[in-house]
Amino acid sequence: MGEVIRLKDITRVFDTGQIQVHALRGVSLTVEEGGCLAIMGASGSGKSTLMNILGLLDRPTSGSYHLVGEDTSRLDRNRLAGIRNRTIGFVFQNFNLLARTSALENVELPLLYRGVGARERRRLALEALDRVGLGDRANHAPNQLSGGQQQRVAIARALVASPSVILADEPTGNLDSSTSVEIMRFFRGLVDGGLTMVLVTHEPDIAAWAERVVEMKDGQIVADRRQSPSVVTPSGEAVP
Amino acid sequence: MTIIQTVWVAGRALLRNKMRSFLTTLGIVIGVAAVISMSAIGAGARARVAEAFQSMGSNMLLVFSGSSRTGGMRGGAGSQPSLTWDDMEDIREQVDGVKYVAPLMAVGAQVQGNGQNWQTSVRGTSVDYFAIRSWATDSGELFSDQDNHRGAKVAVLGRTVVTNLFGEGVDAVGEVVRINNIPFQVIGIAAAKGSSARGEDEDDAVFVPWKTFRAKLSGGLQQFIPGPIMISAESPEALEASRVGVEKLLRVNHKIRPGVEDDFTVRNLSEMAQAQQEGAKTMTSLLAGIALVSLIVGGIGIMNIMLVSVTERTREIGLRMALGARPSTVMFQFLIESVVLSVIGGLLGVACGIGAAKYLVSTFNWPLLIQPEFSFLAVGFSALVGVTFGMYPAWKASKLDPIQALRFE
């Protein structure tokens, strides 16, 4: 199995003028292909900064980041956009779907920026919507869908470009507990099918779905343990 | 992403805010419509002026007698008869570049015929007059030089006179009319010419040979021409030379010593036409300038809305960047949005402008002159406005930090 992500001695310092904030203080992390990695930590622990760097939305102050074997530290904004498009699928806490735009068009977006033709784009987007069980809602606008359905559209959008890794930032943060389970079960199915996923959460119940949990504190990794993914609901009852 | 895809995305984004897009476009629509209609109206006005001067006569000089001086009081041009019939013949025979020469005498007279009577202007002139004014007859013929030489009592009637004496559309050739109780035979009916540049009815006149006019209808000193001499030069280029030639000849004929004022005036009607044209042109530029200003105001409207749009869609921009939109693509998308707005505005503006021009022109009864190159220019210019005023908002959008943008509420 190959490496998808290799971080080495990553630091990130925010210069606010008067004081320097060390958000990350030397993070090294390797993520293998396949499986789900949960990054946990309190707010201010640096997990969001780490996520932004993993997503190529932010650049480390020092250290190296190889994504699928490619060194990303010397690339400009346009090149980074291209790599994001090809290798990363984002799932956000607040879904981030375009309003007044159909589910289908939302899912088509990454393909649009890859220059895929209209017909092929439509075919792939419909396929991705089918995968998340929303093939029949393709023409619904986000405000016509429930929270769970909106997040599933966002997952379809992340999947449509067949990325190397899915980055999910608190994907269940805006959902009720039963919908959270539904979404996590769906993610689990994808991971069992061979997908690589990095999940940021502060909820232990959600982290329990991952086979590897990294805990962060004060910009450093303080724990890195492997576990057998326990399929539990937030209320603690076991799910078959 | 191809240009077509970008235009498509831009179009989708604009359609999400239909009312706003429409109102933003309206600024450009009005600007372009103003440019188009003003230029069309200006061109129409110029053509109308040119037409009016053309119908007065082409390459025309008018020679007036001098002014009288009684004590300290000076009369106006023509108040002191100084042009003689010999002067006229000399001009015809001796001045280079002169094609036609005709005297123009007029007297108000009562004309009777067919049991009716009508007060009109009776004019004594030569057949050249009709050539200068490119005026033909509807029926019958013009009087000839022979008619003139033998002082024949023949007349060519204007259409209005025929209508008032004989009735609408009647062919009065061969009839007899009495002018100041002297019988004249009608030999021709002049074609309807409409109103002059000054608004007078050109067709309300009777034309008779000048020798007949001199013998029967005008009093005064017989050696002088009681009116101006009309001269037509062979070409616009020959006009100035003819004017100089006429002045030189008249000074010799009238024995005017060097340094002494002319006792006549030569006026170049083409110069007047040109001055009029220049005036119309200035007016057009002025109107077009105002229209351009309104187009720029429309552009500022686009910039304003695009800035609002960039702020409002900050999260969308952040998302698009996260999903792989390059900063350059984002910039291009917003630029295309403003260009789409302005070009659609330009096209609508051309349509509205042509409509407005048609309406105004039909109200003023001017010829409609829509210059197609102006329409292309206006649409092109509005696209330029879109690019210019869309540049800053688009640049601002492309500089957004995706992390900040995604967090933007």
Residue from A80, A97, A98, A114 to probe the interface with B (highest B Cβ count within 10 Å): A98
Quick check: A236 pLDDT over 70?
no
Q: How many CB pairs under 8 A join A and B?
A: 62
Please provide the average confidence, as pLDDT, over all residues in chain B. 85
The answer to whether the CB atoms of A115 and B1 lie below 8 A apart is yes
Distance CA B21, CA B14 (A): 6
Q: Is A100's CB within 8 Å of B16's CB?
A: yes
In chain B, what residues touch A78 (CB-CB under 8 Å)?
326-328
So what's the pLDDT on residue A150?
95
Quote the CA–CA distance of B121 and B203 in Å, as a whole number.
10
Q: Which pLDDT belongs to residue A115? A: 85
Contacts of B12 in chain A (CB under 8 A): 101, 105
- State whether residue B170 sits within 8 Å of chain A by CB: no
State how far residue B387 is from chain A, nearest Cα, in angstroms: 22
d(CA B28, CA B378): 10
CB contact under 8 A, B329 and A113: yes
Express each pLDDT in B115-157 by its tens digit: 888 889 899 998 888 888 888 888 888 888 888 888 889 999 8
Q: How far apart are CA B70 and CA B73, in angstroms?
A: 5
Structure-block tokens of residue B241? 């030379």
- Label residue A219 by pLDDT band (50, 70, 90): very high
Does residue B292 contact residue B286 with C-beta atoms inside 8 Å? no
Could you give the CA distance from residue B168 to residue B178 in angstroms, rounded to a whole number? 19
Minimum CA–CA partner of A161 in chain B: B323
pLDDT of residue B197: 60
Assigned token pair, B104: 């123009």
Mean pLDDT on A180-204: 92
Do B320 and A113 lie within an 8 Å CB cutoff?
yes
Q: Which residues of A touch B16 (CB under 8 A)?
A: 99-101
Closest CA to B29 of B353, B377, B408: B353
Instruction: Return the pLDDT at A240.
Output: 46
Asked if B218 and B129 touch (Cβ cutoff 8 Å), the reply is no
Look up residue B367 and give its DSSP letter: P
Tokens of B301: 């409207």
Inter-chain CB proximity B316 and A115 less than 8 Å: no
Both structure tokens of B341: 């707005």
pLDDT band at A232, cuts 50/70/90? Answer: low
Nearest to B123 by CA among B150, B92, B157, B100: B157
Tell me which of B43 and A111 has the higher pLDDT: A111
Q: What ipTM was predicted for this assembly?
A: 0.91
**For the segment A35-74, what is each residue's pLDDT rounded down to a tens digit?**
999 999 988 899 989 999 999 999 999 999 999 989 998 8
CB contact under 8 A, A82 and B324: yes
Distance CA B246, CA B253 (A): 10
Decide: helix, strand or coil at residue B257: coil
Assess contact for A10 and A28: CB atoms under 8 A: yes
Across A6-39, b (16+ Cβ under 10 Å) vs e yields bbeebebeeeeeeeeebbbeebebebeebbbbbb
B5 and A115: CB-CB below 8 Å? yes
Coil, strand or helix at A89 = strand
Among A43, A47, A77, the residue to mutate for chain B (most B Cβ within 10 A): A77
pLDDT value of position B70: 63
Q: Do A55 and B5 touch (CB under 8 A)?
A: no
Q: Do B322 and A112 touch (CB under 8 A)?
A: no
Is residue A224's pLDDT more than 90? yes
**B340 to chain A, closest Cα gap in Å:** 20
**Whole-number pLDDT of residue B77:** 59
Does B364 have pLDDT greater than 60?
yes
Q: Which of A213-222, B224-233, B375-384 has the highest mean pLDDT?
A: A213-222
CATH code assigned to A3-226: 3.40.50.300
The rounded distance, in Å, linking the Cα atoms of A40 and A184 is: 16
Q: Is A127 on the interface with B (CB under 8 A)?
A: no
Using a CB–CB cutoff of 8 Å, tell me whether A14 touches chain B.
no
Interface of B with A in 97-156 (CB under 8 A): none
Is B5 an 8 Å CB contact of chain A?
A: yes
Q: Where do the DSSP E strands lie in B104-190?
A: 105-113, 116-125, 137-140, 154-157, 176-179, 182-190
Decide: A97 and A106 in contact? Cβ < 8 Å. yes
Q: Is A159 on the interface with B (CB under 8 A)?
A: no
Q: What is the CA radius of gyration of chain A?
A: 18
Whether A113 sits inside 8 A of B323 (CB atoms) is yes
Is pLDDT of A206 > 50?
Answer: yes
Residue-wise DSSP of A5-74: EEEEEEEEEEE-SSSEEEEEEEEEEEEESSEEEEEE--TTSSHHHHHHHHTTSS--SEEEEEETTEE-TT
Question: Does the pLDDT at position A1 exceed 70?
Answer: no
What secondary structure letter does DSSP report for B79? S
The residue length of chain B stands at: 409
pLDDT, average across residues B153-171 = 88
Question: Å from B399 to nearest chain A CA?
Answer: 10
pLDDT tens-place string over residues A177-188: 899 999 999 999
Q: Which of A127-131, B34-38, B166-170, B217-221 is predicted least confidently? A: B217-221
Q: Nearest CA to A183 among A100, A95, A54? A: A95
For chain B, how long is the longest CA-to-CA vector? 105
Amino acid at position B110, single letter = Q
The tokens describing B29, both together, are 């629509």
The residue among A51, A87, A112 with the most chain B CBs within 10 A of its CB, best to mutate, is A112
- Return all residues near B93 (Cβ < 8 A) that are at least 6 apart: none
Phi, psi (degrees; rounded to nearest 5) at A230: -95, 120
pLDDT value of position A225: 92
Are the C-beta atoms of B101 and B88 separated by less than 8 Å? yes
A177 part of contact set with chain B, CB < 8 Å: no
B176-228 per-position pLDDT tens digit: 899 988 999 999 998 888 776 667 788 889 999 988 888 888 765 677 888 88
Nearest to B319 among A81, A82, A96 (CB): A96
pLDDT at B145: 85
Residues of B in contact with A86 (CB under 8 A): 324
Q: Which residue(s) pair with A36 in the sheet? A: A197
Residues A233, A238, A239, A240: what is their CA dihedral angle, to the nearest 10 degrees? 170
Average pLDDT over residues B333-338: 92
One-letter amino acid for residue A200 of the chain: V
Residues from chain A that touch B315, judged by Cβ atoms under 8 A, are 96
| A109 touches B at CB < 8 Å | yes
Which pLDDT tens digit goes with each residue over B305-324?
A: 999 999 999 999 999 999 99
What is the enclosing helix (H) or strand (E) of A223? strand A220-226
Helix, strand or coil for residue A169?
strand
Distance, in Å, from the CA atom of A119 to the CA atom of A113, rounded to the nearest integer, reads 15
pTM over 0.90: no
Amino acid sitting at position B91: I
Mean pLDDT for A203-225 is 93
User: In sequence order, what E strands does B71-115 have?
Assistant: 73-74, 98-103, 105-113
Question: How many whole angstroms separate alpha carbon A200 and alpha carbon A39?
Answer: 5
Say what the pLDDT of residue A52 is. 93
Examine the pLDDT at A237 and tell me if it is beyond 60.
no
HEC-encoded secondary structure of B351-363 = HHHHHHHHHHHHH
Q: Packing angle between helix B18-56 and helix B327-364, nearest 10 degrees?
A: 40
Q: What is the pLDDT of residues B58-111, one digit of tens each?
A: 788 888 887 666 666 666 655 677 888 888 888 888 888 888 888 888 888 889
The mean pLDDT of chain A is: 90
Give the closest-approach CA distance of B31 to chain A in angstroms. 31
Position A22 pLDDT exceeds 80: yes
DSSP B191: P
∠B239-B240-B242 over CA atoms, to 5°? 65
